[in-house]
């Protein structure tokens, strides 16, 4: 019967933006590495031209369009493969009609929605399709602790909070050549999207003599207004193995939080330590639970403390490297990998199924 597992192994239809180097693909691969049969439905889409303009216009109206027939392809995969589990990774374009139809065809299949983003804090991470479909999922998984209560308030049946995770195959210590150090890294680095507050902090430490390199999207306009000899802005993202090599090329990796997403932690909060490199991140209650301050990572609460700790740890490499090694050990000891991460979701789903029977 559909929904039953043989020897604990599941057949999973996995929907999401499955481009190489992305965290969605890492979660999908983690499920496959556990021995489950995983069927991918890729929702990767880069809007351009007239369709891109229409997509962006509808986004402003809190609508998500489906230019690559994701709903149709998802249903086709479900009908063909008869999964035990349908895993939808940030399914903004998945309609309530699709979810109801899925439930009607395979009533025993569980449906989980996963998102690493703040799904209740603003329209940039929402759509009417998603909001109207919340009640149709068996379980919502979020890495934002404050989303738990919000999702229940929006009609979710069950919500699970998990800390962020890293990919063991990607985020690990690597040897860096002197050439890579010059082209990828430096003294202090940040990898991530542009946001005004983090840009101002980076400019502050650059103005006080700290050399900084920045990788990420959205920096071009700001870089034209605020160039600085101590600041190298690459104006492009960096993904996958190259992202990990860049982390390993910096003496200090900065962990800024995205204010638009109300972050208390991000994926880089565990990816940097998993690479065995020193992290200096914004101080939050969740960061302090993940890593012991001054032992496994360092934290700051304002620009002055950020500057002070950059200068201190740049001039104390042995302390810096000891902390980085302890952070890597903490990642391994506490099970911060995607293998443990998705395993916890499956354990929760099994418990829900057993309680329902």
Domain ranges across the chain: 11-165+337-356, 178-334
Condensed to tens digits (0 to 9), the pLDDT of residues 20-47 reads: 999 999 999 999 999 999 999 999 875 5
- Phi, psi torsion values for 186, nearest 5 degrees: 150, -160
Residue 174 has pLDDT above 50, yes or no: yes
Q: How far is CA 331 from CA 277, 298, 300, 320, in A?
A: 12, 15, 21, 17
CATH superfamily membership of 178-334: Glycogen Phosphorylase B; (3.40.50.2000)
- pLDDT band at residue 123 under the 50/70/90 scheme: confident
Q: How far does CA 138 lie from the centroid of its chain?
A: 22
Contact 118, 139 (CB under 8 A): no
Contact 67, 51 (CB under 8 A): yes
- pLDDT band at residue 125 under the 50/70/90 scheme: confident
Asked if domains 11-165+337-356 and 178-334 share a fold, the reply is yes
Structure tokens at 323: 């902390």
Q: In terms of pTM, does the model score above 0.75? A: yes
Condensed to tens digits (0 to 9), the pLDDT of residues 238-283 reads: 999 999 999 999 999 999 999 989 999 999 999 999 999 999 999 9
The per-residue pLDDT for 102 is 95
Helix, strand or coil for residue 303?
helix
The per-residue pLDDT for 51 is 43
Contact 215, 238 (CB under 8 A): yes
Q: Quick one: which of 130, 127, 116, 181 has its CA closest to 338? A: 116
Tell me the C-alpha distance between 146 and 194, whole Å.
Answer: 23
Give me the mean pLDDT over the 60-69 stretch.
63
Structure tokens at 260: 């638009």
CB atoms within 10 A of CB 322: 14
| Domain 11-165+337-356 class, CATH top level | alpha beta
Contact 164, 272 (CB under 8 A): no
Tell me the C-alpha distance between 213 and 43, whole Å.
Answer: 32
Give me the mean pLDDT over the 293-306 stretch.
98
Condensed to tens digits (0 to 9), the pLDDT of residues 199-216 reads: 999 999 999 999 999 999
**Residue 247 DSSP class:** H
Structure tokens at 328: 């890597």
Tell me the C-alpha distance between 259 and 123, whole Å.
Answer: 14
Tell me the C-alpha distance between 271 and 251, whole Å.
Answer: 15
- Is residue 30 packed enough to be buried (19+ CB in 10 Å), middle (13-18) or exposed (0-12)? buried
CB atoms within 10 A of CB 233: 22
Q: Write the secondary structure of 76-137 as one string of H (helix), E (strand) and C (coil).
A: HHHHHHCCCEEEEECCCCCCHHHHHHHHHHCCCCEEEEEECCCCCCCHHHCCHHHHHHHHHC
């Amino acid at each position: 019967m559909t929904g039953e597992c043989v020897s604990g192994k599941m057949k999973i239809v996995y929907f999401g933006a499955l481009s190489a180097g992305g965290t969605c693909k890492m979660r999908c691969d983690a499920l496959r590495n556990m021995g489950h049969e995983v069927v991918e439905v890729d929702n990767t889409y880069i809007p351009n031209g007239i369709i891109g303009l229409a997509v962006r216009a509808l986004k402003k109206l809190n609508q998500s369009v489906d230019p690559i027939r994701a709903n149709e392809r998802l249903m086709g995969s479900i009908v063909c493969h008869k999964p035990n589990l349908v895993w939808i990774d940030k399914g903004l374009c998945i309609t309530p009609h699709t979810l109801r139809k899925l439930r009607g065809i395979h009533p025993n299949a569980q449906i989980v929605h996963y998102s690493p983003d703040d799904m209740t804090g603003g329209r940039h991470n929402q759509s009417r399709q998603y909001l109207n479909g919340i009640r149709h999922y068996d379980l919502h998984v979020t890495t934002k602790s404050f989303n738990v209560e919000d999702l229940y308030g929006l009609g979710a049946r069950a919500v699970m909070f998990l800390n962020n995770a890293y990919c063991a195959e990607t985020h690990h210590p690597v040897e860096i050549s002197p050439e890579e150090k010059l082209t990828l890294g430096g003294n202090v680095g940040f990898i991530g999207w542009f946001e005004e507050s983090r840009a101002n902090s980076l400019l502050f430490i650059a103005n006080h003599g700290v050399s900084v390199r920045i990788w990420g999207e959205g920096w071009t306009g700001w870089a034209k207004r605020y160039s600085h000899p101590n600041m190298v802005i690459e104006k492009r993202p960096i993904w996958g193995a190259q992202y990990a090599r860049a982390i390993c090329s910096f003496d200090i990796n900065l962990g800024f939080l995205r204010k638009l997403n109300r972050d208390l932690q991000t994926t880089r909060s565990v990816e940097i330590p998993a690479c065995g490199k020193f992290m200096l991140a914004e101080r939050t209650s969740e960061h302090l639970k993940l890593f012991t301050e001054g032992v496994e990572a360092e934290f700051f609460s304002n620009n002055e403390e950020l500057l002070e700790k950059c200068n201190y740890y740049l001039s104390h490499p042995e302390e810096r490297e000891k902390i980085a090694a302890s952070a890597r050990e903490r990642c391994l000891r506490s099970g911060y990998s995607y293998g443990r991460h998705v395993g916890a979701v499956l354990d929760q789903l099994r418990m829900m199924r057993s309680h329902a029977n």
